[in-house]
Each structure stands twice: as C-alpha cells, then as structure tokens.
Amino acid sequence: MFSSDALTAIEEYAALLATEGVLRGLIGPREVPRLWERHLLNSAVLSEAIPEGSTVCDIGSGAGLPGLALAIARPDLRVTLVEPLLRRTTFLDEVAGQLGLDQVEVVRGRADSLHGERAYDVVTSRAVAPLTRLLEWSMPLVGPSGALLAMKGQSVEDEIVEAGPVLKRYRCGEPEVLTLGAEVVDPPTRVVRVAWADPTQVGWPLASTSRASARKSGKKGSRRPRDS
C-alpha cells in the first residue's frame, strides 16, 4: 500500500497516533495494538477507488483517517481535512507539517461551512454519521463528475434504503457498495460510492432552489443537520 518513500512517513504517523493521539484523546489506547490493520491500512485501501490527481475532501477527519493515510499513500492527491474541533485540527496541522505533506490543507469548521464555496473530485468520511445525514453534508461538496466515498460497516445496505428520499431529492445516482483491500486487510474495507445521476444538474443548486421555493410558499424548509 505504501511506496518505499512513503513508508517512513506512515510509520511516523502511526507513532504519533500511538503517543500524542492517545494523550490528546484522539484515539483510544485499546486501538494502539491494531492501528495498522484496523485504521491505517483500512483507510489507505480507499485509494483503490480514487482516480489519479484527484482533489479529496475528508470531512470529520478526526485524527486524520482516512485523509492523512490517503495523502501519505498517494502524493498525487490534494487532500483537504475538514474538522470542527480545535484540538484535532491542531494535531492535524502538526502531523502534516512534521511529515512534509505540502498537499494537505487543514480546515477548521463544519462541512456545511464550505457549501457553495468549494467542490472536490472525491469527498470521503469514516465513522462520521449515517448515510442520510452524510449525504446532506457531503454531496454539496462533490463536483459534477465527482463522487462521495464513505467508509461503512455491515449495515450499509440498510443505510442506503433509509437514505432513499435524500438520494432522490439531491438527484444522486444509484449507490454502489465497493469492497476494497481484500488482499490487504481482513475484513476488507466496505465503501459506499455515490455520484450524481446527471453531472449537468448536481443536487446542491437544486436543493437551494427547492428551499427558496418552500420559503416563498410560506412553508418551513427542512433543517439540514449539522456535523459535530
């Protein structure tokens, strides 16, 4: 998963997670013995589904998973880590600086603070929220030819069914469930991929128009949940 040039960086990142990450409450001490298989490799295999030279936004990045692992494994990617908590963004800034990851940007804020301002080829997340809420936070950041790649567990099919109304409202394409890293990690990483049904009519402007119409008609628009 990591080239010889990247191996030193990922080992250093692992060491930082196991020390500073635990001390700062970013990762539980029980996770240290399984950092590689459960966290680092589990995140890095996401790169199998990301085209070369992509811009990537990792929302709710926490301690940097999967964003930092992707940036180390794939130096061709430009990665933005979005995280609202100061203690986490401080750690992310320190790690990116220490490892010389010049292609990484850390943004302190919620995902919706970037809505209407930025668009990415890929928007990632790991253990952030159920798919219904994740779509509302993530799809406004997905460019016309881009996709959401959300790491999910065994309940992903149920989440897709529950998210049906949101998928329809945002005019998303049919979700795909990908199994990645089958020869690298056990169990392999499960990812749900969601792209736009029609790249010429992405859902965020349509959603904005819908809310504006609701206000004009005197109806209360639905309140978008906020990530934490």
pLDDT of residue 205: 61
Give me 215's structure tokens: 């206000």
Are the beta carbons of 103 and 71 closer than 8 angstroms?
yes
In a domain, 194, yes or no: yes
Please report, for the domain that includes residue 108, its CATH number.
3.40.50.150
Where do we find the tokens 């990665």? 79
User: Which residues sit in the known binding site?
Assistant: 60, 65, 126
- Domain range for residue 50? 4-216
pLDDT of residue 13: 97
In a domain, 125, yes or no: yes
pTM over 0.95: no
Mean pLDDT by 10 residues, the chain (228 residues): 88 96 94 91 95 97 96 97 97 97 97 94 94 95 96 91 95 95 90 94 60 41 35
Of the candidates 71, 191, 61, 196, the residue with the CA atom closest to the CA atom of residue 142 = 196
In a domain, 48, yes or no: yes
In a domain, 185, yes or no: yes
In a domain, 227, yes or no: no
User: Which residues sit in the known binding site for S-adenosyl-L-methionine?
Assistant: 60, 65, 126
In a domain, 174, yes or no: yes
Q: How many domains does the chain have?
A: 1
In a domain, 79, yes or no: yes
In a domain, 228, yes or no: no
